[in-house]
Amino acid sequence: MQRAFHLRVFGPPALLDPDSRVHRFRTKKQLALLVYLSIHRDSPGVSRAQLVDLLWPGVEEKRGRHSLSQGLSVIRQILGADAVMAVGNHLSLSAPLRSDVDIVCRNGDTDPRANCHPHCHPHGQAHSFADSRSYDRNKG
């Protein structure tokens, strides 16, 4: 069985490899993108437009979409080519990635269909984490 990466979301966010080493991202928004996709793993996907609006508000659409593409490329380099799946214009995380939310809500089960108490899966709360005005204002 392949050992999974761990996404720490309680406390300072970080991606830990299977040997518990912290993986560094070029920008905090790339990590925020991974966190957001992880938190929304149970949904049918998040639209590219929603991600651009969330992480790069006020940026020209072409530049925001390019930044999103760069972030997805980095995530795929780290977690594998199939880590993020695109269905139409919606993206979803498919990597075997464990997070603090999984450990608390699903007893560590990485299957997104596993039961999770609704109060333990804070879909709307990712917005405060990913508020791009507080992350990499000039890094795009």
Provide CB contacts within 8 A for 131, sequence distance 6+.
none
Question: What is the signed CA dihedral for 86, 90, 95, 101, rounded to 10 degrees?
Answer: 180
User: Read out DSSP for 75-99?
Assistant: HHHHH-TTSEEEETTEEEE-S-EEE
Helices (H), the chain: 28-39, 48-55, 61-79, 100-106, 126-129
**Global confidence as pTM:** 0.74
Looking up tokens 């204002």 gives 137
Structure tokens given for 77: 């380099």
| CB 35 within 8 Å of CB 126 | yes
Average pLDDT over residues 117-130: 41
Task: Count Cα neighbours of 52 within 13 Å in the Cβ-side half-sphere.
Answer: 18
Domain 5-134: give its CATH architecture: Orthogonal Bundle (1.10)
Please say if the pLDDT value at position 51 is more than 90: yes
pLDDT > 70: what percent of the chain?
73
Model pLDDT, residue 135:
40
**Spatial CA neighbour of 121 closest among 97, 101, 95:** 101
Average pLDDT over residues 114-132: 42
Domain ranges of the chain: 5-134
**What is the overall mean pLDDT for the chain?**
79
* Edge-to-edge order in the sheet of strand 84-87: 46-47, 90-93, 84-87
Model pLDDT, residue 43:
83
Average pLDDT over residues 96-120: 62
